């Protein structure tokens, strides 16, 4: 989710769900230790609970980066062992680390010793020809013994050669059964399912079928943000923060005004809300107006113009006719 789950995106998503745990983009240890740490780590208090996702493989660097995340106020430190991009492979982190379970365990142990926060790992079922249940069990056993209590599993393998990152999200087949088997083998761990989940009904059904502890949604929630508005009622038995898409837009106004008043381009926030009305009459106009170039200070005007063309009879969270994906 590089360049997607920015702080601006997370503040918008928090208007849709108070309870869903939000994750940062993957941030490399090098960027934190040798770059502009504040640019990568700053976030708003409204984003809690929020996890810092790290990319790296050197235990001492991971420990230092984890301490920075803890000092910054994050709620969880997550190590990415699932990203298949070439740049990630060249840096010896991401999915290629699934070939080195002992090294990952050393990194988890170093982070676990450095912070009191939960240290979690996101991984794939396998990578290249290292793709059997026995190897996956060994990987999870190693990181669990090092202090990882939660494993978030993208339920497909990764091919590091021959497939693009996009293809790695679509071509290797999903296998939820292997994630269920992982939970059966490690009942003491929190196992979270990721990959191919397009709506909450499917997510809930898969959780129940495998006695899983959670689900992680990525692009589905980004492209159809209204899906998140049903997380609190359906998973936590609590009301949604806003009853309608229009109410979300109204709640967004002060955020956008403050964003522009601070001298930041409106585009940095607005680009994340393009999918809010997906599936609704007028959604194309909404996206088109908000995708146009915006002059400084034009954000609220563009929001008003996009909203003005939408029908006013839109469903609310309490409407039984509301669709899961919006």
Cβ within 8 Å of residue 253, ≥6 positions away = 300, 303
Say whether 83 is catalytic: yes
CB atoms inside a 10 Å sphere around CB 89 = 18
Residue 322 has a pLDDT of 36
From the candidates 9, 83, 96, 123, give the one annotated as an active-site residue: 83
Please report the pLDDT score of residue 2 as a whole number. Answer: 73
- Looking at residue 171, what is its pLDDT? 77
C-alpha 175/C-alpha 210 separation (Å) is 12
Q: Which CATH class is domain 7-225?
A: alpha beta
CATH code for the part of the protein at 245-308: 1.20.120
pLDDT at residue 68 above 60?
A: yes
pLDDT value at residue 319: 42
Same CATH fold assignment for domains 7-225 and 245-308: no
- What pLDDT, on the 0 to 100 scale, is given for residue 87? 67
- pLDDT, average across residues 25-46: 96
pLDDT tens-place string over residues 74-128: 999 999 999 887 766 566 788 999 999 999 999 999 999 999 999 999 999 999 9
Domain boundaries, the chain: 7-225, 245-308
Q: What is the tens place of the pLDDT at every residue in 139-194?
A: 999 999 999 999 999 999 988 877 777 787 777 899 999 999 999 999 999 999 99
Percentage of the chain modeled with pLDDT above 90? 83
Query: Cα(314)–Cα(177) distance, rounded to whole angstroms?
Result: 38
Q: Which helix (H) or strand (E) holds 77?
A: strand 76-81
The CA distance from 1 to 133, in Å, is: 27
Please provide the average confidence, as pLDDT, over all residues in the chain: 92
Distance between CA atoms of 310 and 306, rounded to whole angstroms?
A: 7
Q: Could you please report the per-residue DSSP string of 93-115? A: -GGGGGG-HHHHHHHHHHHHHH-
């Amino acid at each position: 989710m590089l360049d997607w789950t920015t702080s601006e995106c997370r503040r918008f998503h928090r208007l849709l769900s108070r309870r869903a745990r939000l994750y940062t983009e993957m941030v490399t240890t090098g960027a934190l230790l040798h770059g502009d740490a504040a640019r990568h780590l700053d976030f708003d208090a409204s984003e809690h609970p929020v996890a810092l996702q790290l990319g790296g493989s050197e235990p001492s660097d991971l420990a230092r980066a984890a301490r920075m995340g803890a000092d910054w106020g994050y709620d969880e430190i997550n190590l990415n062992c699932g990203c298949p991009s070439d740049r990630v492979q060249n840096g010896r982190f991401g999915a290629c680390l699934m070939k080195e379970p002992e090294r990952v365990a050393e990194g988890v142990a170093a982070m676990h010793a450095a912070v009191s926060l939960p240290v979690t790992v996101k991984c794939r079922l396998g990578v290249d020809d290292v793709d059997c249940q026995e190897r996956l069990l060994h990987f999870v056993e190693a990181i669990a013994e090092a202090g990882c209590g939660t494993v978030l599993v993208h339920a497909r393998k990764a091919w590091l050669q021959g497939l693009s990152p996009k293809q790695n999200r679509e071509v290797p087949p999903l296998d939820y059964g292997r994630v269920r088997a992982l939970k059966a083998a490690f009942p003491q761990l929190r196992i979270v399912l990721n990959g191919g989940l397009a709506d909450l009904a499917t997510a809930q059904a898969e959780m129940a079928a495998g006695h899983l502890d959670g689900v992680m949604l990525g692009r589905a929630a980004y492209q159809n943000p209204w899906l998140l508005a049903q997380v609190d009622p359906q998973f936590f038995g609590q009301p949604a923060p806003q009853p309608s898409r229009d109410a979300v837009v109204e709640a967004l106004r002060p955020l956008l005004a403050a964003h522009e008043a601070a001298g930041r381009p409106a585009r940095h926030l607005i680009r994340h809300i393009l999918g809010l009305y997906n599936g609704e009459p007028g959604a194309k106009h909404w996206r088109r107006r908000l995708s146009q170039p915006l002059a400084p200070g034009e954000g609220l005007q563009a929001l008003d113009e996009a909203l003005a063309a939408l029908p006013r009879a839109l469903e609310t969270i309490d409407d039984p006719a509301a669709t899961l994906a919006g």
